[in-house]
Amino acid sequence: MADTGDISRARICIDFGTALSKAAVCLDPTLPLEVGVKPLPIGAISGAEHPLLTPSVVYVDGGRLYFGPIGFEHARRGVENGRDPLLSFKTVLGAKNVDEALATKIKPSVDPTGTFTHRDILVVYLAYLDQLIAEALELAPNMPPGTALARRRYTSPVWRPGSGIEQVFERIFNEAAAISFKLGRQLLSREGVSIAQCKDALDKAKANPADGMLETGIFEPHAAAAAALAFTTQPTNHVMVFDMGAGTTDIAAFEFDERVDPPTLSEIKEARQCSALAGDEIDRIIIELMMRKAGIEKGKEEEVRAARIARLAGRGLKHELMRTGRTALKLGWRTLQIRAEDLQQDERFRAYLNALVRTIALSLQAVIPRAEAMGAPVVDVVLAGGGAHLSFLPQLVQTAHQSINTQVKVRCGPLSPINPVYEGIDPILANVFPQIAMSVGGALVEMMPAR
């Protein structure tokens, strides 16, 4: 296919992560992985820390909109003025009433002008991603001509078959395509885009939408399970996806049957859970522990300011604490510090871990009997999302497994491109694979029917 330029089977999948956005292209699911599947370097285009990840950030400042890392820079400077960035689109994507969530005005601390709804910002941000993807495709080697015109998919934290949600997002993608065409590379400018230009582009896009090439949404755990099965050298019949993001921890399990053609990847619906026991909650526990140790009182001006700074820095604090055993937050002339031992002894964190064990056990209780019935010796628990590398997660899974009387074993670890050829071609992939797996799997997966 790469020789002919045929893109009829190509798919591009976008993952609007709570903290970071990603995109991947599958040129053809029948090609070898190292040829057919490519994560796109949208972070390299946006100027982010990692070439495959870009911050899911929009910031309104001085009558202009800024996106990604540039928006994050403005957000750091805006702390003193009581300003917030828009940090996540998962709230909208996962809302029970999507139409209502989309129509809601952005809160004043994010958009003091009162101009934009959540739908407006999502459309403009998607136009920004479209520009990142177009430039990333130009950078990626051996891309067939016209790959930017491949059908699009997006990953969703919830799945609503037959709900009409596709029509809503098809309109959003179509309007975003029109805005991407109208504003072009201006969306990537360090100077941002004026509110007036954005509003004009939004109005014109509603009146004359383009073709956003949306094919479908993909349930995130389905995408992660597809990635796990595609890249493992030791496939199992049962895969449980433990996806700890910033805002939610989602668990879903799948039964893989390769005896039929095409193979089926059927969800074990009883195992599905969505929990607030996620990365943001750990961040909050760490920040509150820091402030308690420093004697900062709740509700005071210093505490409000610290919370705003911590919201931007929380992810880094958590990973530094897990990696080095200590972390610190600079707050004016003060430095707030904690050690890993402080966190391990914290009652709220211990309660968090116990609750997470119970949540994992509930899902395993739905999966293990299915494995026993098939005589399957092992269930794979794959760790996905930004929290996949948290050192305590494998032990929590094993603790939950030990509470169940079974001979079925559990194999647990972060999603990884075990395929040595693929990892050899792209060494930067290994550490971030749990985060990009949804976009990779979402682009790769064939729409296999549930049984």
In the predicted structure, residue 99 carries a pLDDT above the cut 80: yes
Task: Return the structure tokens found at 271.
Answer: 């195992």
**pLDDT band of 94, cuts 50, 70, 90:** low
What fold is seen in the domain 219-278+348-422?
Answer: Nucleotidyltransferase; domain 5 (3.30.420)
Q: Yes or no: say if 253 and 238 are a contact pair by the CB < 8 Å rule.
A: yes
In the predicted structure, residue 306 carries a pLDDT above the cut 70: no
Task: Note the pLDDT tens digit of each residue in 317-376.
Answer: 777 887 788 888 777 677 778 888 988 999 999 999 999 999 999 999 999 999 999 899
| Whole-number pLDDT of residue 85 | 74
Pick from 2-16, 109-123, 239-253: least confident: 2-16
Task: Judge if 11-217 and 219-278+348-422 fold alike in CATH terms.
Answer: yes
The neighbouring-strand residues paired with 325 are none
- 380 exposed, middle or buried (CB, 10 Å; 0-12, 13-18, 19+)? buried
- 195-207 and 118-139 helices, crossing angle to 10°: 90
CA distances from 377 to 239, 266, 370 (A): 12, 19, 11
- With a pLDDT cut of 90, the percent of the chain lying above it is 38
What does the domain layout of the chain look like in residue ranges?
Answer: 11-217, 219-278+348-422, 279-347
| Whole-number pLDDT of residue 419 | 60
Q: For residues 233 and 247, what is the distance between their CA atoms, to the nearest angstrom?
A: 31
Closest C-alpha among 256, 191, 251 to residue 221: 251
Pick from 232-236, 399-403, 443-447: least confident: 443-447
- 205 exposed, middle or buried (CB, 10 Å; 0-12, 13-18, 19+)? buried
Task: Return the structure tokens found at 419.
Answer: 């395929």
Task: Note the pLDDT tens digit of each residue in 206-252.
Answer: 999 999 999 988 888 888 888 888 887 777 889 999 988 777 788 98
Helix (H, G, I), strand (E, B) or coil at 65: strand
In the predicted structure, residue 449 carries a pLDDT above the cut 50: no
**pLDDT band of 139, cuts 50, 70, 90:** confident
- With a pLDDT cut of 70, the percent of the chain lying above it is 84
- Pick 11-217's CATH classification: 3.90.550, 2.40.50, 3.30.2420, 3.30.420: 3.30.420
Q: Which residue has the higher pLDDT, 359 or 16?
A: 359
User: What is the DSSP secondary-structure string of 108-171?
Assistant: TTT-TT---BHHHHHHHHHHHHHHHHHHHHHHSTTPPTTGGGSEEEEEESS--TTSSHHHHHHH
